Structure 1
Amino acid sequence: MKIAQIAPLFESVPPRLYGGTERVVHYLTEELVRQGHKVTLFASGDSITSAELVPCATQALRLDPDVRDSIPHQMLLLDKVRERAGEFDVLHFHVDYLHFPLFRTQAGRTVTTLHGRQDLSDHMPFYAHFPEMPLVSISNAQRAPLPRANFVATVYHGLPLDLHKPTFQPAGGYLAFLGRISPEKRPDRAIEIARAAGLPLKIAAKVDNADEAYFRDTIAPLLDGPGVEFIGEINESEKTAFLGNAAALLFPIDWPEPFGLVMIEAMACGTPVLAFRGGSVAEIIEVGITGRIVESVEEAVQAVPNLLALDRRAIRARFEERFSARRMAGDYLRLYQKMLRKRAASERHLASLAEYAIASAHPRPDTAIQTEPN
């Protein structure tokens, strides 16, 4: 199968540091190539891939000091895809909905995975205007605010099984917070939980420009107290040790989480997850097996002893069963094949209608209606 994967340009594929969407695109692309498909990746020029790379920006936009406005770069990306669209069986977009106006006439060969939150009121009229565009959600909770959107599947993210080696006897004795410093991720809750539970906390997180004031005014003052270490952004190779040596991952979100890649990264390391209920959490965490789900800081503190007693081998086993890149690619391939069958059936139907129209307009002499002479 000939497949185009269209990635955002903000980070490389895979990202050097933080970047969930581009990381998932990388895992999917590599697994599809491994399974023998011809894959073309439209991404930033500093991406690393086994697929054919079509560079659509010199480097990741977030890391390019000369980039002031991302929109021209994204438009160039979409135009490069448009120029080569006819080469592919499937165009798989990961750029939200930027491509809808340009590709709506080719909707039958596109699929769009939505990676962000969808509960914003601005989204609803937009999706209603483009009902022909097939959408994939990354959790069932993500699609709930858009009951009339054209969702054709839910596909959970997956990781390569050899990406993170599990640690069954962690040496760190700390709780971990990994991701992004922002109000919706609630690192302040993580600090409060760790201190109340009497355990050290290590925070490995990036601070976006939009969140610098939140970090400076809300989080930085909390770091001055005991037991909290702020590490900053870490890369993929550093995650295994960081998560593997943690006693548990804290995921104290305060928003409708679309998926939460860090939860399955922790599971891959055998590390249990303590998460606040919201969005996808109840779909990803199996209570009593891979973690605990709570609704308050007090409940979280009380849950810590039982959380730390969970079987790390069982956590890794459930990760392998539910969240491998192979399973993710298989889910997408079944969707691609379904799209191809539907498109082929539609083309056959249109061809038969065309043949009928031609035959009706130009009947053969032997089938023409003969009239009797008067």
Structure 2
Amino acid sequence: MRIAMLAPISWRTPPRHYGPWELVTSLLTEALVAKGVDVTLFATADSETAGTLAAVVPAGYSEDRTLDAKVMEMLHVSHVFERAGEFDLIHNQADFVPLAFSRLVDVPQVTTIHGFSSERIVPVFKRYEDRVHYVAISDADRHADLKYAATIHHGIRLDEFPFDVEGSSDLLFFGRIHPDKGAADAIQAALATGDRLLMAGIIQDEGYYAREVEPHIDGEQIIFNGPVGGAARTRALGHAKALLHLIHFDEPFGLSVVEAMACGTPVIAYNRGSMPELIEHGVTGFLVETFDEALEAISRIGEIDRSACRKAVETRFTVQRMADRYLELYREIIDGTVAG
């Protein structure tokens, strides 16, 4: 089986720190290669893979601001379709632009929909749903107007997230500094409970950061570490008493939620989007409806068995499970037996 894996190119694959779509693309690619699948990864030239790397774009356009994002994306997407005849299946992880090329080649195609930036892009997906097999990353993120071949949750490499049996007395915010992710709510919760809050992530909304986050950063109770990767990432995720995921949008998935639980850290999240699919209320964390409920959940976090958080990820969210499900879908599509 020869698979063309089309990665996003905002960041390198795998990303150095931030880049959730690129991270998932890398995890899946490497797991498939380890299973003996012939995978060509179409990504930035500085990307790393055990498969075959194909690149016409030098670096991620979010990392090298001299690159024009639209130009790089057109070069990148056209590259895989110009070589489509070399593959048994194209797997698109790069949003909706590749859909416009889908009827120009005969090779079967899969698109993982990592979320919808706006309702305005849905017509593109609708136009090509008879040509491309769509995968949702959570049942919550399935759009009512679209047909799907499957829902496949993301998976992580458990060995990269060591279990921390004790955690610490600190709360953790881990995500983009953006209103959607609820950084301000996390800060206000820590101030209300008197807990120390460690924060990590890229600043995606400068105005929000300046208004709602920066004034509270004192280096003592509220500490902002910026984007973290590697060992610093896993230490942050594991060495906390709880991850605060007080989101203000319907989260399509939430990799940091699964990563934290893998380390044994329970999660307190607003009950939106995919959160009920990831968190078992009262077992691996708490699903809350209001800010006051979040404060109550912080006071009850000692009720959560950290080993239950780890066990949930071992059972449901490993990269091996994700790869097996995609491999099964590929075979069904290539054999012409897929339902959806």
Does the CA contact (< 8 Å) of 1:108 and 1:339 recur in 2?
A: no
Distance 2:202 2:289 in 1: 25
Return the letter of the residue paired with 1:116. Answer: G
Q: Does 1:199 align with 2:195?
A: yes
Paired position in structure 2 for 1:97:
96
Distance 2:119 2:56 in 1: 31
Return the letter of the residue paired with 1:178. Answer: F
Aligned-pair CA distance for 1:86: 1.0
Return the letter of the residue paired with 1:121. Answer: E
Matches for 1:72-83 after TM superposition, within 5 Å: 72-83=71-82
Paired position in structure 2 for 1:135:
134
Return the letter of the residue paired with 1:189. Answer: D
Distance 1:142 1:81 in 2: 27
Paired position in structure 1 for 2:113:
114
Q: Secondary structure, in 3 states, of the residue corresponding to 2:42?
A: strand
Paired position in structure 2 for 1:87:
86
Aligned-pair CA distance for 1:97: 0.9
Paired position in structure 2 for 1:53:
53
Deviations 1:23-76 (A, max 9, x none): 011110110011111110000111111010012311121111312x20111111
Does the CA contact (< 8 Å) of 1:256 and 1:280 recur in 2?
A: yes
Distance 2:80 2:149 in 1: 22
Distance 2:215 2:200 in 1: 17
Paired position in structure 2 for 1:364:
none
Deviations 1:103-136 (A, max 9, x none): 1244761000011236x33133323322312111
TM-score in terms of structure 1 length:
0.87
Does the CA contact (< 8 Å) of 2:203 and 2:209 recur in 1?
A: yes
Distance 1:128 1:205 in 2: 33
Q: Which has the larger radius of gyration?
A: 1
TM-score in terms of structure 2 length:
0.95
Aligned-pair CA distance for 1:225: 9.1
CA gap 1:297/1:225 in 2 versus in 1, 3 angstroms: farther
Between 190-199 and 262-271, report the one with greater CA deviation: 190-199
Paired position in structure 2 for 1:348:
none
Return the letter of the residue paired with 1:163. Answer: E
Does the CA contact (< 8 Å) of 1:272 and 1:308 recur in 2?
A: no
- Give unmatched runs, 5+ long, in structure 2: none
Q: Does 1:271 align with 2:271?
A: no
Distance 2:59 2:104 in 1: 31
Q: Secondary structure, in 3 states, of the residue corresponding to 1:229?
A: strand
Does the CA contact (< 8 Å) of 2:125 and 2:146 recur in 1?
A: yes
Q: Secondary structure, in 3 states, of the residue corresponding to 2:119?
A: coil
CA gap 1:47/1:343 in 2 versus in 1, 3 angstroms: same
- Percent identity over paired residues: 39
Match among 288, 312, 315 for residue 309 of structure 2: 315
Q: Does 1:184 align with 2:180?
A: yes
Deviations 1:218-241 (A, max 9, x none): 221232496111111101321111
Distance 1:277 1:108 in 2: 40
Aligned-pair CA distance for 1:298: 0.6
Return the letter of the residue paired with 1:139. Answer: S
- Give unmatched runs, 5+ long, in structure 1: 345-374
Distance 2:146 2:104 in 1: 17
Paired position in structure 2 for 1:159:
156
Paired position in structure 1 for 2:36:
36
Paired position in structure 2 for 1:5:
5
Paired position in structure 1 for 2:249:
255
Q: Secondary structure, in 3 states, of the residue corresponding to 1:25?
A: helix
Return the letter of the residue paired with 2:153. Answer: Y
Does the CA contact (< 8 Å) of 1:248 and 1:308 recur in 2?
A: no
